[in-house]
Amino acid sequence: MWSSEDKARDTVRRQGRGLSAGQVAEKVAEAVVRVRETRAQAASPGDWGELGGDPVELAGVWAARLVEWRRVAALLEADGHPTYEPSQDQEGTLWAGEREQRRREALTRQEGWLAQQRDEQDELRAELWLAADVSRRLRAIAGRAGLSPEQVLAQLAEHARVSDSGMVTVEPFLPG
């Protein structure tokens, strides 16, 4: 759901809260080292050692964090704030809002999909073979109503009632 840049922005906003410009500079330096190490690890074949996971992906994560730490360092320098506070970072706050909106939209889509799956579990799909005379009658009824035979059968099923004795009845209705 989130890109490497989104994850880096989120991580930096959380880890950067309350850090001074000097501490942010240390984070920039650490990210520079991590980018170099992960890129070297990604370029070498074979054993990925203690890094674990995909070194190319990890290199991308650290590169995105480096960009974000540098942006925060520049923000502190430009605005003259003694420490980084995410609430004072308009660009970071805007990005965080966009990420949260995408997350909510994804959750809404997932909830819709799950509801659709539940509804489909309750649906009945049936294939049935009817005698020729019954089939002709059904097609004639459907044709007069401007419906498909399947639609007529579905409406017939909707109007069917079962009595206490188990007898199935259908009151007269007009298909439509």
Residue 128: what pLDDT?
A: 86
Residue 101: what pLDDT?
A: 92
Q: What is the pTM of this model?
A: 0.59
Residue 163: what pLDDT?
A: 93
Same-domain pairing of 42 and 73: yes
Same-domain pairing of 93 and 149: no
Same-domain pairing of 41 and 74: yes
Whether 41 is covered by a domain: the verdict is yes
Same-domain pairing of 12 and 90: yes
For residues 11 and 47, give the distance between their C-alpha atoms in angstroms, rounded to a whole number: 28
* Half-sphere exposure for 54 (CA within 13 Å, toward CB): 4
For residues 5 and 142, give the distance between their C-alpha atoms in angstroms, rounded to a whole number: 57
Q: Which helix (H) or strand (E) holds 162?
A: strand 160-162
Residue 20 — φ and ψ, nearest 5°?
-80, 170
Q: Which residue has the higher pLDDT, 138 or 56?
A: 138
Same-domain pairing of 150 and 114: no
For residues 68 and 13, give the distance between their C-alpha atoms in angstroms, rounded to a whole number: 9
114 alpha carbon, distance to own chain's centre = 12
Same-domain pairing of 118 and 136: no
Averaged pLDDT score across all residues of the chain: 88
Instruction: Convert the pLDDT of each residue in 140-151 to its tens digit.
Output: 999 999 999 999
Same-domain pairing of 144 and 62: no
Write out the residue range of the structural domain in which residue 161 sits. Answer: 132-170
Same-domain pairing of 106 and 154: no
Instruction: Convert the pLDDT of each residue in 113-141 to its tens digit.
Output: 998 888 888 777 788 899 999 999 999 99
Whether 25 is covered by a domain: the verdict is yes
Same-domain pairing of 54 and 138: no
